Structure 1
Amino acid sequence: MSVLEAVAEAGATRARGWAAPVLAAVSGALPLLVFPAPGWWWFGYVCLVPLMLVLRTASSARRALLLGWLGGIGFLVGVMSWLIPTLSVAILVLAALLGLLWAPWGWLVWRLLHGTPDGGRAAAALVLVPSGWLLIETVRSWQYLGGPWGLLGASQYAQHFALRLASVGGVWADSLLLVAVNTALVVLVAAWGRCAVAWGALLAMAACVGSVLLWAPGPRATGRGVSVGVVQPGVIATPEARAAREELLTRQLLAAHPDIVLWGESSLSYDLTARRRLAGQLAALSRQAGADLMVGVDAERPGSSGGIYKSSVVVGPDGPTGQVYDKIRLVPFGEYIPLRPALGWIADLSKAAGVDRRRGTAQVVMTLPTRDAGPLRVGPLICFESAFPDMSRALAERGAQLLLVQSATSSYQDTWAPAQHASLAALRAAETGRPVVQATLTGVSTAYDATGRRIGAPLGTDRSDTAVYTVPLASGRTLYDRWGNWLPAASVALVLLWGLGWAGVNLRNRRH
């Protein structure tokens, strides 16, 4: 071999060495296309195939771990790209840390799918690879690791069959189905289409979805309905101007006679116990509307404890009714900085929270009057909390007939975040069998019935307006409401059992 040929071969080897990591990171980001606003929901059934093909060709277990980590970084930066204006370069640090969750998954894909998998390895992959992905989603759903934003199954919020699946297994069922289909396709690619196990798995998945559509219990309409007036002021510079705009818009709702008037998160920047005049104005507004107002307060609370709380506060004809809910799960970096003594520097490089908000202590179910339907039990959620399936389920278990979400995404007005956030309400409705209405300061405000089907037209981010959603109430409990997070628990158990078995076999072989 000549010197030129040797140099060319060395360059090609180096290029191949760099190609796989780059491909892993880029292909890991492809799922961003399945979420709103692109909304290519159908792409979810193939979006992981490129990444898994890269992983299965890794030259070693260590290489598979590295590629899995890079794929996780790509996924997080892609799906959370709307955070870049807030976190700046810090998003790369956070993605690098959380991306470590994908490293074992990358090894698992390589272990089960490298080369041409036989029937046994293919069957194991079809069970364990989706379960491993669900394990990642379960771990990162912990609020202190960022919460369950960007769960793959959430991309299917507008599909009837996916919402029915969510009523049985939560959003986790949709994630599991998507990853299982992707895995079956990778097996077929690796086996040149000749794998009866993969074809059989695809048929079995189709049969399962069909069975859920036919037999899964759904919510039962009660024949009662409630009208919710939503106030969306739009982007306004000062708290005083925003409050004035919200009062004006509420007056425009008077002719519609809503049962409840819902304002967005942080619609008021003043504590009503310290602003008696403002509380009186809102009480007068409630009397004129003939309905209670649920407003959002983001203010320092007077008293010995002090601190800034984000709260849902009900104001009736006589003033604040005493029904208050303080937000429990705060947005990391947006509303507080985890481990501020160590990570406080992020605030200097980004728009992260300068002051930590205080947490509430418990969820609350409120009772509000209505014109014709009698007392109504509602469960408030504030912004980020609608991403957590367990919170809406807990409210349904405590008797909430309607879930009300108050949100503010003005910091991400020109990103895909508002559309992604609005889509979560559909899944929470389908999971619990309870209708959901979401009011935001700047859009998207929307409503869904108890099956997750959209009611009326949403208010987009370009609107400063009101909407009245007539929401049909429902009774009964979904299977997810009864059984909870049984799918994540089963997936974790499967992966751990397989891991223990694999480790035991390896240990025995080394001894021999």
Structure 2
Amino acid sequence: MPTASATVTAERAGVARRWGPRLLAALTGACLALAFPAVNAWWWAWFGLVPFLLLVAGAGTFREAGWRSWWASAGFFGTLHHWVLPFLGVFWPLAVLVIGLVWVPFGLVAYGLLRRVSPVRAGVALLVLPSVWVAVEALRSWQHLGGAWGLLGSSQWQVRPVLGLAALGGVWLLSFTLVAVNAGLALAVLPDAGRRARLAGGGAAVALAALAVCSGLVRPEPVVTGVMRVAGVQPGPVPGPERRVATHLRLTGELAGRDPDVVVWGQSSVGLDPAQRPDVDRLLRRAAAEVGADLLVNVDAADPSGRIAKAAYQYTPDGVVDTYVKQRLAPFGEYIPLRPVLGWIAGHTEAAEKDRITGAGLAVFEVAGRRVGPLISYESTFPDLRRGLARKGVDVTITQGSLTTFHGSWAHAQQASFEALRAVESGRPAVLVELDGTSAAFDARGGRLAWFPPEYRGAFVVDVPLSVEETPYVRLGDWVPALAGGIALGAGAAAAARRMSRSRNR
């Protein structure tokens, strides 16, 4: 009969066997988050999933594979989005619990495919695993769940040799390629895999990485059709709507004589309704006349009916000539989903006290003989909006942003990095001007034209080379998520059919 001390020792060993791999999985997820800004260890995304896949393959049961996947997901999103947690108040444990579920489907499929590997299963894994990953990324990118933030492919925003894949299939094709390479490398080192399976996995990983690099290297440079001088004003956090407008006007005045084609202010730069404040309207007109360029300001104020919309106003010396109202609002930051049920959350977090209203559709501004596609902050995360503007024939996209809530966090560099991806996807140069954050500009190939960090205060001018091309992604849309979803569903149906067949045979 075992002694009490032997029983305790065995229990402790069981706990170590169970929790050691789980904590290690959390560490692998946290390390993968370092591939994104602000750390920018982009190269880690090419093999950072391998340790996680090996941990899942050796889980022993689907239940344990699910637990390891949960811990890895919590580690990844908890690290990548750590700057959000302080603003969730008492709800941050619940948020971590939910985000830990994101990787569970991928982990369960990985366990099913990698626990017993044959050459055929290796080939299936190379196709199914990236498909499941992309399908989940597409689902969690729904605007009411936080948007397309933290997609694996976006970690490659500054790697121009592979960034060209985004022109073919959007950020989704980058994610698919990265996961396929990670799956191939995992197969190559999996202890239980046979020699043929290892060769197949390693060979596929090398071939896919080489193809990704070559696709970017052979892509020709676009034909430049002109240059647009875009000026931005980045004052940083300025308390009070009156002082904020005054600071923007002062900095805009410094641009006189520098011949900008347009002057852009960030999100919520005007916290007063010009329709109700004739003095503010006159000041904005005068600023446009003095600098000799249209102003793109952003109004975030209640109208006479009490409704609030975040809207881009195009100002000339004659007044407002066009407007665009933000369509996609940040959940909880700009509205509370199901407010009648969840409205009480505002009293315990930084959630919006009053919902903003949404716009009806995209707009195109005619500015200095050019067609400008305006977007506002959170909307920069969505590939389809930029694709829609490209289809409308814009020459450049301009995003007005502000990350005052997350001042000094990784959020600044992460949002600025989206512009490189969106430029390549749409085939149009992209400019981001932040009230407080990182302002940036990129050409149509994702080449950096400007980068003004959060601590920058002042006005700047960027010469943006214009080039218009219709990328395959603009023409075809989200074909990669659609194909990935079909592959994932087909694989699931095939697995279910095999299980039913085995049950009948028994």
TM-score per shorter chain, which class?
A: over 0.9
Q: Secondary structure at the match of 1:81?
A: coil
Question: Please, which runs of 5 or more residues in structure 2 have no aligned partner?
Answer: none
**Match in the other structure for 1:81:** 82
What's the CA shift for 1:22? 2.5
Change (3 A) 1:213 1:463: closer
Report the TM-score, using the length of structure 2 for normalisation.
Answer: 0.95
8 Å Cα contact 1:218/1:433 also seen in 2:
no
Q: Secondary structure at the match of 1:31?
A: helix
**Match in the other structure for 2:51:** 50
**Match in the other structure for 2:444:** 450
Name the CA distance, whole Å, in 2 between partners of 1:236 and 1:336. 23
Match of 1:504 among 489, 492, 497: 497
Q: Does 1:472 align with 2:465?
A: yes
**Match in the other structure for 1:462:** 455
Name the CA distance, whole Å, in 1 between partners of 2:341 and 2:29. 29
Name the CA distance, whole Å, in 2 between partners of 1:509 and 1:210. 44
What's the CA shift for 1:11? 1.4
Name the CA distance, whole Å, in 1 between partners of 2:397 and 2:171. 17
**Match in the other structure for 1:186:** 186
**Match in the other structure for 1:21:** 22
**Match in the other structure for 2:35:** 34
Q: Secondary structure at the match of 1:344?
A: helix
What's the CA shift for 1:376? 1.0
Name the CA distance, whole Å, in 2 between partners of 1:90 and 1:24. 24
Pairing of 1:369-448 with structure 2 (within 5 A) = 370=368, 375-448=369-442
Bigger mean CA offset, 391-400 vs 331-340 = 331-340
Bigger mean CA offset, 286-295 vs 208-217 = 208-217
Name the CA distance, whole Å, in 2 between partners of 1:232 and 1:239. 15
What's the CA shift for 1:218? 5.9
Q: What are the superposed Cα offsets for residues 262-321 of structure 1, whole Å, 9 maximum, x if unpaired? A: 000000001111111111111111111111100011011224xx4110010011011111
**AA matched with 1:439:** V
What's the CA shift for 1:102? 2.2
**AA matched with 2:301:** A
**Match in the other structure for 1:342:** 341
Q: What are the superposed Cα offsets for residues 326-353 of structure 1, whole Å, 9 maximum, x if unpaired? A: 1011011111122223333432332121
Name the CA distance, whole Å, in 2 between partners of 1:213 and 1:408. 32
- How many correspondences in the alignment? 501
Name the CA distance, whole Å, in 1 between partners of 2:184 and 2:84. 33
**Match in the other structure for 1:136:** 136
Bigger mean CA offset, 157-166 vs 97-106 = 97-106
**Match in the other structure for 1:167:** 167
Identity of aligned residues (%): 40
Name the CA distance, whole Å, in 2 between partners of 1:54 and 1:207. 27
Bigger mean CA offset, 67-76 vs 487-496 = 67-76
Name the CA distance, whole Å, in 2 between partners of 1:314 and 1:455. 24
What's the CA shift for 1:210? 4.4
**AA matched with 1:227:** R
Name the CA distance, whole Å, in 2 between partners of 1:249 and 1:383. 21
Name the CA distance, whole Å, in 1 between partners of 2:37 and 2:58. 31
Pairing of 1:61-460 with structure 2 (within 5 A) = 61-115=62-116, 117-191=117-191, 194=195, 195-213=198-216, 216=219, 219-222=222-225, 224-303=226-305, 306-321=306-321, 323-368=322-367, 370=368, 375-456=369-450, 458-460=451-453
Name the CA distance, whole Å, in 2 between partners of 1:67 and 1:345. 34
Q: Secondary structure at the match of 1:297?
A: strand
8 Å Cα contact 2:375/2:397 also seen in 1:
yes
Change (3 A) 1:217 1:395: farther
Name the CA distance, whole Å, in 1 between partners of 2:304 and 2:89. 34
**AA matched with 2:227:** G
What's the CA shift for 1:183? 1.2
Name the CA distance, whole Å, in 1 between partners of 2:67 and 2:48. 20
8 Å Cα contact 2:422/2:430 also seen in 1:
yes
RMSD across aligned positions (CA): 1.7
8 Å Cα contact 1:77/1:92 also seen in 2:
no
What's the CA shift for 1:215? 5.1
Name the CA distance, whole Å, in 2 between partners of 1:260 and 1:432. 21
Q: Secondary structure at the match of 1:378?
A: strand
Q: Secondary structure at the match of 1:221?
A: coil
Q: Secondary structure at the match of 2:353?
A: coil
Report the TM-score, using the length of structure 1 for normalisation.
Answer: 0.94
8 Å Cα contact 2:399/2:433 also seen in 1:
yes
Name the CA distance, whole Å, in 1 between partners of 2:313 and 2:96. 36
Bigger mean CA offset, 236-245 vs 147-156 = 236-245
Name the CA distance, whole Å, in 2 between partners of 1:36 and 1:193. 38
8 Å Cα contact 2:162/2:216 also seen in 1:
no
